[in-house]
Chains A and B, each alone.
Chain A
Amino acid sequence: MDDIEKISKELNNLPEGWIVMLETTPEKMLEVSLSTIKFLSDEKNYIGIIVSASRPQKNLIQLYKQKKIDTKKILILDCISKSQSLDLEEASNVIYLESVSSLTNISLAITASIQQISGAKFVFVDSINSMLIHNKPEVFAQFIHGILTKLRIGGINGLLISLENETNKEIHAEIAQLCDRIVKI
C-alpha cells in the first residue's frame, strides 16, 4: 500500500471532525505533506488552512503548483516570511503572520480563518518540529490543545505533521494523545 493510500484509508475510517497526526521521516516529509494536501483538497474537496512554519508561501505555492494542487482551495498562514524579512507579495490566499513564536497571533488567525471559511475544511499544522524550535514545549502544547479544542467544537478536521523519533518524547505524547489517530508513514 503506498503512502497516500495508507493516509486516505485512515482518514476515510474516521468520522468528520477528525484530528490526525502524521509521523514521517525527514526525507519523506515534504512528499507526505503535499500528497495529503492534494488528497484532501482534490478528492475530498476540502478547503485547506495551512499553518506554515516550515516554508515561506512563495516556495509553498510553487510546490503546490508543481503537484497540481488547486491553490484557490488553499489558505496559507505564513509564519516565516515576515520574520525572515522576505518579500511579502500580495496574495489572496496568504496571510502573513509575525513569526512562528507568535502563538497568540497564530491562534487568532486560525480562529478567524475557520470562522470565515464555510463548508468542509481542514487545518494543517506544518510542522510540529519547526514550531518547537521557536517555542517552549509546554507553551506549544497549550497552543495545540487550544487549537484542537476549537477545531473539535467546530467539527473541523485537523492534521499535524511531525518527524518520527525527532520530537521530545513527553511533548510528543502530550500532543499525540489529543489526536484521534497517529499515522506513521
Chain B
Amino acid sequence: MLKDETKKSIEQAIQMDKHGVIIMIELPVNAYFEMNSSTIKLLTNQGFEGIYISFQRPFKNISSFFKSEGIDTSTILFVDAATALSGEQQNEDPRCIHISQALDIDELVKAIYLSLPKLKGQKKFIFIDSLTTISLYKPLSQIMRFSEFLMRTVRKENEENVILIFNVAKDLTQKKFIKDIAFHVDQVISVDNNG
C-alpha cells in the first residue's frame, strides 16, 4: 500500500543514529488505516516489537485487519481506548489492554509506562493512532501532557531505544496542537494519496 519511496523514508527515519527517534507520519484520509497497517508491517518485518495505542478503532477490528495483511500480531501489545469510548463491552485478550471508560490519561500513561519494560526485544516502537481523535474527548492540556510524557519517555538517557510514531491525517495537520508537537519531532513524513 505504501510506495517504495515512502517505505524508504520511514526506514531511514527509524534507523536514524539517535536515541529515542520521534516521527510524525501525515496520511491522506482515504485508505488511512491501510497505510497505517503498512507502517506497522514494515516495523514488525524489521524485527520491531511495540505498543499500538488505538483511539480510533477497537482492538477486534485492528487485529483482524492486521492478520489479514500478514502482520505478526504476537509482537504487538495493543492498548484499546476506542472500545471504552463507545461504551461497549471489552472482551479479554492476552494481547490487549483495555482502558476504562473514564479514559483517564493518567491510566493510559501508566499502561504505557508499565508495558515498555515488558517488551524484551532490542527494537521497540510506540504507535499512536491518533491524537486528533482523542482530542475530541479530552482537553488539549491533557493531550499535550500525554504527548510530552511519551516524548520524554523515549528520549530518556537510560531508556532503551524506542521509536515513537504519531499518526495524523493530513487535513488535520494545521491544528495548532499538532503543529506544536510536529515542532518537537525528529522527522515528519508526508504520504500522498498514492502512498
Contacts and interface: CB of A to CB of B under 8 A. Distances in A.
Given A174-B136, A177-B29, A177-B56, A153 B171 contact: no
B29 A182 contact: yes
A15 B83 contact: no
A153 B86 contact: yes
A93 B170 CA distance: 41
A172 B171 contact: yes
B54 to A, nearest CB: 10
Nearest to A144: B136
Query: Contact residue range for chain A?
Result: 20 to 34
B32 interface: yes
A174 B85 contact: no
A65 interface: no
Contacts of A153: 58, 60-61, 83, 86, 88
Contact of B87 (A146, A177, A181): A146
B110 interface: no
A7 to B, nearest CB: 15
A149 B88 contact: yes
Interface magnitude class on chain B: 20 to 34
Interface string A127-148: 0000000000010011001100
Interface in B132-173: 132-133, 136-137, 169-172
Contacts of B31: 180-181
A149 B86 contact: yes
A169 interface: yes
Interface of B: 27, 29-34, 56-58, 60-61, 68, 82-83, 85-88, 130, 132-133, 136-137, 169-172, 175
Interface of A: 15, 17, 138, 141-142, 145-146, 149-150, 152-153, 169-170, 172-174, 176-182
Given A146-B85, A177-B27, A177-B33, 10 more contacts: A149-B86, A149-B88, A150-B88, A153-B83, A170-B172, A170-B175, A173-B132, A174-B133, A176-B32, A182-B29
